[in-house]
């Protein structure tokens, strides 16, 4: 019950990057007009770690989609904690809520 | 009571009427406050009966006891929160009998029938249980997609007992602090 997305990288200019906001490409979303549905939706970056925390080796960083990025359907997302740079190219779950 | 503004701005920082002029405009000298009841100030002292033959029978004692302990430093108390979120307005696509899709929780993905909105704003929803195993439950509107499919429902049939209090957790009985309980 989520749309698949990919982390493209941090918000950046040519030589400086701002890691507090990540860029996400949502599958199937090709124009900025299409992104309107996804604004405000919650995003989850799910990853595995070696150490167990609260009974699970799977961890999650939650965030929200804040605005469109460019004209081709990419989107800016702000996470509770910044995404690690290791996440570039990794999948991200774009939930359908808040509806 | 809302009133047309008693003052107006001439320019930034300069009002037409001064503070005392605005107060005079309220014409307080003519008005009597509606619930004006003579309030007795709380009693400072009280007389208490004292046992013992030679103790004089009664004693005058402070009505409120002074605290036994004063903190060394004054700690600021957080202010009381006066803001409360209002009840979420029901989307106009959600009507009793609408089939909803649950987006999160144990029953995510299940299609479910909307029964009514409760006083807290949550939606009362049911599978029905026999159909898909979703029991009577409360769901937040934000975690739901409304479909255009509607089911015929008799609004009168939803029991009035099904409200937020029905779903409240039963309070665990407080165990008396007995010695056995301490050593369990």
pLDDT tens string A30-57:
999 999 999 999 999 999 999 999 999 9
Do residue B104 and residue A97 have CB atoms under 8 angstroms apart?
yes
For the record, the structure tokens of B71 come out as 């903190």
What residues contact residue A56 under an 8 Å CB cut-off, 6+ apart?
A: none
Q: Which of helix, strand or coil describes residue B75?
A: coil
Closest CA to A64 of A34, A31, A24: A24
How far apart are the CA of B111 and the nearest CA of chain A, in angstroms?
13
- Cα separation of B104 and A93, whole Å? 13
Do residue A99 and residue B144 have CB atoms under 8 angstroms apart?
yes
DSSP annotation of A27 reads T
The string of DSSP codes covering B108-151 is: TT-EEEEEEE-TTSPEEEE--HHHHS--SEEE-GGGEEEEEEE-
Q: Please, what sign has the CA dihedral across residues B51, B57, B62, B63?
A: positive
Mutate to test the interface with A, among B91, B103, B144 (most CBs of A within 10 A): B103
For residue B37, is pLDDT > 90? Answer: no
- Cα separation of B39 and B21, whole Å? 30
CA-based nearest residue in chain A for residue B105: A1
pTM over 0.90: no
Judging contacts by C-beta atoms under 8 Å, the chain A residues touching residue B144 are 99
For residue B178, is pLDDT > 80? Answer: no
For residue B132, is pLDDT > 80? Answer: yes
Within 13 A of B65's CA, how many CA atoms are on the CB side?
3
- Cα separation of B89 and B117, whole Å? 10
């Amino acid at each position: 019950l989520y749309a698949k997305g990919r982390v493209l990288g941090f918000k950046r200019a040519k030589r400086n990057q701002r890691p507090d906001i990540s860029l996400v490409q949502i599958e199937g979303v090709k124009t900025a007009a299409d992104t309107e549905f996804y604004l405000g939706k919650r995003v989850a970056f799910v990853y595995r770690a070696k150490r167990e925390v609260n009974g699970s080796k799977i961890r999650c960083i939650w965030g929200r989609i804040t605005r469109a990025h460019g004209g081709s359907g990419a989107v800016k997302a702000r996470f509770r904690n910044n995404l690690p740079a290791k996440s570039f190219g990794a999948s991200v779950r774009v939930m359908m809520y808040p509806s | 009571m809302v009133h047309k503004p008693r003052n107006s701005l001439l320019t930034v920082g300069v009002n037409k009427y001064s503070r005392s002029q605005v107060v005079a405009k309220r014409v307080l000298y003519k008005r009597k406050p509606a619930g004006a009841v003579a309030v007795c100030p709380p009693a400072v002292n009280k007389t208490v009966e004292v046992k013992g033959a030679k103790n004089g029978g009664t004693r005058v004692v402070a009505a409120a006891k002074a605290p036994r302990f004063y903190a060394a430093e004054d700690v600021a108390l957080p202010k009381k929160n006066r803001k409360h979120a209002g009840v979420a307005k029901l989307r106009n696509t959600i009507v009793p009998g609408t089939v909803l899709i649950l987006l999160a929780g144990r029953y995510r993905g299940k299609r479910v029938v909307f029964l009514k909105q409760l006083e807290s704003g949550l939606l009362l929803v049911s599978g029905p249980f026999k159909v898909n195993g979703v029991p009577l439950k409360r769901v937040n509107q934000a975690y739901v997609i409304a479909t255009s499919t509607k089911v015929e429902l008799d609004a009168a049939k939803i029991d009035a007992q099904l409200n937020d209090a029905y779903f409240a957790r039963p309070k665990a009985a407080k165990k008396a602090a007995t010695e056995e309980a301490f050593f369990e």
